[in-house]
Amino acid sequence: MIKATTKANTATLIALFLCILTLAGAQSAPAKNQPAAPGPEVKPMLLPSPAQVEAALKRTLGYDPSLSWQVLDVRPSAIPGLVELFVSINKQQTVRIYWSLEEQTAIVGELIPFGPNPFEPARQKLRAADGPSRGPADAAIAIVDFSDLECPHCKAAQPVLEKLATEFPQVRLVFQQFPLPASLHPWAMKAALYADCAARIGPAGKDKEAFWKYVDAIFENQGAIAEPIADDKLKELATGAGLNAQKVADCSTALETQSRVKKSMELGQALDVNETPTVFINGRRVKSLSNIPYEQLKAMVQFEIDHAGK
């Protein structure tokens, strides 16, 4: 594996992408007041093979031995004629690439909701968010957090989200499991399974705060957990949170638990979640939450309360 580089180099890489990858071949719009000619029949897009994707990345980035990459997903884009790639660079940042195979060009970035009520489609999908929550069930707005318990950025975001939940008691905070692939975070899936059980079991099934205590403990001890000892450490932390560790461990292997975590991940995928944490405030996607000034986050939450359902 090629050695990792610094965040600064990753930022430079993104800038490099923006400079050297441009989308070409766009057709002109029809002349004013003249009907557009009927377009050709739209056929299902053939996605590039893994070898084609790897060859394209290697041809663009292979000059720098400090760079490594992993293709997380390849799918048809919402933009006709383009393929959408999700690529992790040096296991630090996920880059979204829209690729025109025909033109051998691409753009780097992401589509954003835009319009008078741009977040309604996301809100409709988020109605299925059924993870552990704080706040009233009929809250004006929900803050939904797609999180990975092995993710250091999620660890940094968690106290910020808890502070927002405290300052805005009329808002519901929902935690959705979204463990990243084992190639990036080896014990994240196991932690998600344990945490899902912690939310449902609790001490005598009554302490609704047990889940949040457990999540905080896992985040706090990220550096002490490794894949070979993950079960032992997660059980130890469960005991510390007041849980029956053996019950949690047994529950974590149940098909129902695996199905619940898979369902949460599928919800995130339906919302184009490709990095953690990804937070939705009234349907508005917020990334890198811990890097946003807290007063700005408060203003955003208040703005969404004022525009609930819009």
For 290-309, write each residue's pLDDT tens digit: 999 999 999 999 999 999 87
More confident residue, 93 or 293: 293
149-160 as b/e: b if 16+ CB within 10 A: bbbebbbebbeb
Q: How far apart are CA 19 and CA 45, in angstroms?
A: 27
Tokens of 78: 């919402």
Could you tell me the residue range of the domain that residue 139 belongs to?
A: 120-306
**The last residue of a domain, from among 108, 135, 159:** 108
Residues 6+ apart with CB under 8 A from 307: 282
Same domain, 138 and 95: no
* pTM of this structure: 0.75
Q: Distance of alpha carbon 158 from its chain centroid, rounded? A: 14
Q: What is the 3-state secondary structure (H, E, C) of 44-76?
A: CCCCCCHHHHHHHHHHHHCCCCCCCEEEEEEEE
More confident residue, 119 or 3: 119
Same domain, 163 and 64: no
Q: What is the pLDDT of residues 222-261, one digit of tens each?
A: 999 999 999 999 999 999 999 999 999 999 999 999 999 9
Rounded to whole angstroms, the maximal C-alpha distance in the chain is 72
CA angle 109, 114, 120 (to 5 degrees): 115
> Which pLDDT band, with edges at 50, 70 and 90, does 202 fall under?
low
Q: Name the average pLDDT for the chain.
A: 85
Q: How far apart are CA 234 and CA 232, in angstroms?
A: 6
- What average pLDDT score do residues 187-194 get? 98
> Which pLDDT band, with edges at 50, 70 and 90, does 208 fall under?
low
Q: How far apart are CA 234 and CA 189, in angstroms?
A: 12
Domain contains 38: no
* In contact, 100 and 25? CB cutoff 8 Å: yes
CATH number at residue 206: 3.40.30.10
pLDDT of residue 41: 54
Q: How far apart are CA 123 and CA 138, in angstroms?
A: 14
How many structural domains comprise the chain? 2
